[in-house]
Structure 1
């Protein structure tokens, strides 16, 4: 189940015709909506570690329309230690990257929809 992103705009993403207005993670086998982070605009290891056991090859992180969500070095190091390729982009470009490669393996997208 690798869903295609139909559209993204500030605060909204449409995936296979379904609209979401909360941050989410697209995993190879499901969509985890209403994704919350402990520190809001800072992605901690605890915010993502449970979802990295889903046989993911590539994780794309959408940092928001303006890139406000930060991915600290220790979080990046943790993701890479799981042999997962990490791509970090502002959310619009993260959606484009996801659509480009989502059929090429076990790709996940963790996306902040607003700022």
Structure 2
């Protein structure tokens, strides 16, 4: 069961009553963990472009949808190789500013994973 995201504001996201002050990934099983931004930063010098290495880290077999909260004003994007990786695995990707992404997350019924950037 996926957890409910309560709210977000610049620098934080609250999930099931717990506030996180860093980017998070939510797995198919509902676990919340730190986003491993270093995987993208090592390649692009920024965590605003999701690399193929980070795509491997985020993806879970059986996920039909990845919801990416691109930040409060929408800076995060997928690299071409990460986008292709998700397509090859049949995982549709939605890129939305984080406030809109949490609304979508809370209403989705398919097998979803999430990555939520809490700044920018």
What TM-score does the superposition give when structure 2 sets the normalisation length? 0.85
Counterpart for residue 33 of structure 1: 34
CA contact (8 A) 1:22 1:113 kept: yes
Counterpart for residue 111 of structure 1: 116
Deviations 1:19-78 (A, max 9, x none): 001001011211122532432211101012133134211101111111122212221111
* 1:61 correspondence with 2:68: yes
Residue from 85, 101, 106 that aligns with 1:99: 106
What TM-score does the superposition give when structure 1 sets the normalisation length? 0.89
Counterpart for residue 44 of structure 2: none
CA contact (8 A) 2:28 2:60 kept: no
* Structure 1 residue ranges without an equivalent (≥5): none
Residue from 51, 62, 65 that aligns with 2:58: 51
* Structure 2 residue ranges without an equivalent (≥5): 42-46
- Give, in whole Å, the separation in 2 of the partners of 1:35 and 1:11: 16
Tell me how many residue pairs correspond in the alignment: 113
The ranges of structure 1 where at least 4 consecutive aligned residues each deviate by more than 4 angstroms after the TM superposition are none
Deviations 1:81-103 (A, max 9, x none): 100111111111111111110xx
Counterpart for residue 19 of structure 1: 19
